[in-house]
Amino acid sequence: MNWDLMIDLHKRNPRQGPGSAAQTRLAIDFSGLSSHVGTLKIADIGCGTGASTLVLAESLNAEITAVDLFSEFLDILVAQAGKRGLGDRIGTLPCSMDDLPFEEASLDAMWAEGSIYNMGFQRGIAYFRRFLKPGGVLAVSEMTWFTRERPDEIDAYWTNEYPEIATASEKIGILEEQGFAPVGYFPLPENCWTDHYYAPLQSGFDAFLARHGTAEASSIIDSERIEIALYERYRDYYGYGFYIARRMEGREPARGR
């Protein structure tokens, strides 16, 4: 992956993956975080330019640490937060999501929209759990099959791109195995992919190709176009699922006396 090109393709857009402010708010509703008394400590992992971070900051009384591997994205987030008067609620941390500096059991919530796939769903939730307080909230959106069966073409494509793609019941089972109690699930509506993600992305393709006249740049755009065309054709079969869960203590089910 050529990260410089990836950053250049995505940094001007309002978000770097499917989602929307409305769906972030819905996940906040499921999380129950609004009823918390006092200032919440939240980490937004793989935040990109901060689409979800800004919604969290305006919706909750919280101190938010926005984490991304790339400071180019975090710099844009800081500028946006400043414009919206949310700068004092958001701190940024350029680091990898698999090497976080938080204290164990220190966070009320960990948020990760369209980013946990970078370390893998199972590995990611198993790793993140230690940083949550008991009862703390994990909220992640993740590639999900919406049906048990699907056409071979799309099955082969996504199984190759992201082998952990699975149905919601399988993902929820993994959450339970890893010591979480699921409190909510919903699939992201199509406009999270089309209007909020693919449309702005696509509108930048020509300018991107004009900035970078390399074979690598055109191959990145070709891959994006393939992904978008497949979504147009097969969107009934897959999308992002939003999973909200709480850290549970004791992984074994309670036994009778």
Binding residues for ligand SAH (CB under 6 A): 15-17, 19, 46-48, 51-52, 67-70, 73, 96-97, 113-115, 118
Measured CA to CA, the distance from residue 79 to residue 87 in angstroms comes to: 8
Using alpha carbons, list the distances in angstroms from residue 103 to 81, 120, 131, 146. 25, 22, 6, 36
Give the shortest CB-70-to-ligand SAH separation in angstroms.
5
Give the shortest CB-49-to-ligand SAH separation in angstroms.
7
Instruction: Tell me whether residue 71 or residue 218 sits nearer to ligand SAH (CB atom).
Output: 71
C-alpha closest to that of 29 among 184, 240, 199, 192: 184
Largest CA distance in the chain: 71
Instruction: Tell me whether residue 114 or residue 136 sits nearer to ligand SAH (CB atom).
Output: 114
Give the shortest CB-151-to-ligand SAH separation in angstroms.
26
Cβ-Cβ contacts under 8 Å for 159 (sequence gap 6 or more): 165
Cβ-Cβ contacts under 8 Å for 140 (sequence gap 6 or more): 111, 112, 113, 116, 121, 124, 125, 242, 243
Instruction: Tell me whether residue 78 or residue 248 sits nearer to ligand SAH (CB atom).
Output: 78
Give the shortest CB-123-to-ligand SAH separation in angstroms.
11
Give the shortest CB-199-to-ligand SAH separation in angstroms.
14
Instruction: Tell me whether residue 75 or residue 155 sits nearer to ligand SAH (CB atom).
Output: 75
Cβ-Cβ contacts under 8 Å for 129 (sequence gap 6 or more): 138, 178, 179, 180, 247
Instruction: Tell me whether residue 45 or residue 221 sits nearer to ligand SAH (CB atom).
Output: 45
Give the shortest CB-148-to-ligand SAH separation in angstroms.
27
48: left (phi over 0), alpha (psi -120 to 50) or beta: left
Instruction: Tell me whether residue 180 or residue 240 sits nearer to ligand SAH (CB atom).
Output: 240
Instruction: Tell me whether residue 124 or residue 136 sits nearer to ligand SAH (CB atom).
Output: 124
Give the shortest CB-104-to-ligand SAH separation in angstroms.
19
Helices (H), the chain: 3-10, 21-31, 51-59, 71-83, 121-128, 152-161, 168-177, 199-203, 205-211, 215-234
Using alpha carbons, list the distances in angstroms from residue 5 to 38, 196, 218, 228. 42, 21, 11, 19
Rg of the chain in Å (alpha carbons): 18
